[in-house]
Amino acid sequence: MAQIVQITDIHLVGDDGPLLLEHDTRAAFLRIKDYLYQHHLNCERLIVTGDLAHDEGEQVYQELFDALAPWHDRLRVIPGNHDARMPMQKVFAPIIRDDHESVSFQDELNGWLLIGLDTLIEGAVEGDLAGQQWTWLREFVSAATKPVAIFMHHPPVFVGSRWVDELSLTSLGVFSNLVEEFEQIKLVICGHVHQEFQTKIFQADVFTTPSTCVQFKPNSVDFAVDKSPPGLRIFNLHSDGTFETEVIRL
Ligand SMILES: [Fe+2]
Ligand SMILES: [Fe+2]
């Protein structure tokens, strides 16, 4: 069994930066980091699925990278809509794919193939695959002889809240067709919606995960904050293609 820890939507601001919806995102991140240090120091992967920073620059990414030093050899990152691609590429260069158009990764773990996609459209809240990633993704899954887990910030599904569903992946149909075509795609793991959710696209299980800071209220027509506590998600991947997952709230 191999363990992946997913954290998402950290929204870290610069020193003395503003609160996010009355939340101190730095304090919230540091609590999560302490929890990981105590309980998941030896996880096989730590994957951060976007909105690492809240509209900030290189300094904030460097702070995050330094804070996650115990996991550097197992850390993977992808951007969200609040991120900026250039400073991410600069700071995370040692751990991301060498691709000027995206902040993405590909990886293997215990009989699984992992792929991290960049869905950041700079200046927009909704997302889509940047650069040549549709081609890369199709090549990756068509060559795959092992189960594939896809990580992406924007969910390729609706979660039942109108306001946030209007801000998901724009190419839902294209993505869904790809999943239908390639049965190797077993898992799709997302952030962005700041809430726990689970559904399926054909054979693939799709999961979203609570933010490390503020949560959004499920099943809301308009934007609304939820009082549920911050969280993270654990995946245990087995070499036979099965897995278990659970959300942990702090
Ligand atoms: Fe977010
Ligand atoms: Fe987001």
Cα(163)–Cα(14) distance, rounded to whole angstroms?
28
pLDDT > 90? residue 17: no
Cα 11 to middle of ligand 1, angstroms:
7
At residue 12, the pLDDT reads 96
Query: Which domains, and CATH codes, for the chain?
Result: 2-249 (3.60.21.10)
Nearest ligand atom owner, CA of 79: 2
Distance 111 CA to ligand 1 centre (A): 30
CA atoms of 194 and 114, how far apart (whole Å): 22
Ligand 2 ion: residues within 5 Å (CB): 51, 80-81, 192
Average pLDDT of the residues in 169-178 = 97
Look at residue 119 in the predicted model and tell me its pLDDT.
98
Q: Residue 239 C-alpha to ligand 2 middle, in angstroms?
A: 31
Who surrounds ion ligand 1 at CB < 5 A? 9, 51
Mean pLDDT of 63-68: 97
Measure 9 CA to ligand 1 centroid, in angstroms.
4
Share of the chain above pLDDT 70, in %: 100
What is the CA(242)–ligand 1 centre distance, in A? 29
Classify the C-alpha dihedral 105-106-108-109 as positive or negative: positive
| Ligand closest to the CA atom of residue 126 | 2
Residue 170: per-residue pLDDT = 97
- Give the Å distance between the CA of 82 and the centre of ligand 1: 7
Which tokens sit at 73? 């050899």
Structure confidence by residue, pLDDT tens digits, 109-163:
999 999 999 999 999 999 999 889 999 999 999 999 999 999 999 999 999 999 9
CA distance 159 to 188: 14
Quick one: which ligand is closest to 125's CA?
2
CB 181 within 8 A of CB 140: no
Indicate the length of the chain as a whole number: 250
Q: What is the number of the ligand closest to the CA of 9? A: 1
| SS3 per-residue string spanning the chain | CEEEEEECCCCECCCCCCCECCECHHHHHHHHHHHHHHHCCCCCEEEEECCCECCCCHHHHHHHHHHCHHHCCCEEEECCCCCCHHHHHHHCHHHCCCCCCCCCEEEEECCEEEEECCCECCCCCCECCCCCHHHHHHHHHHHCCCCEEEEECCCCCCCCCHHHHCCCECCHHHHHHHHHHCCCEEEEEECCCCCCEEEEECCEEEEECCCCCCEECCCCCCCCEECCCCEEEEEEECCCCCEEEEEEEC
Band of the pLDDT at 200, cuts 50, 70, 90? very high
pLDDT the model gives residue 19: 80
From ligand 1's centre to the CA of 130, what distance in Å?
A: 18
Q: What number is the average pLDDT over the span 12-27?
A: 85
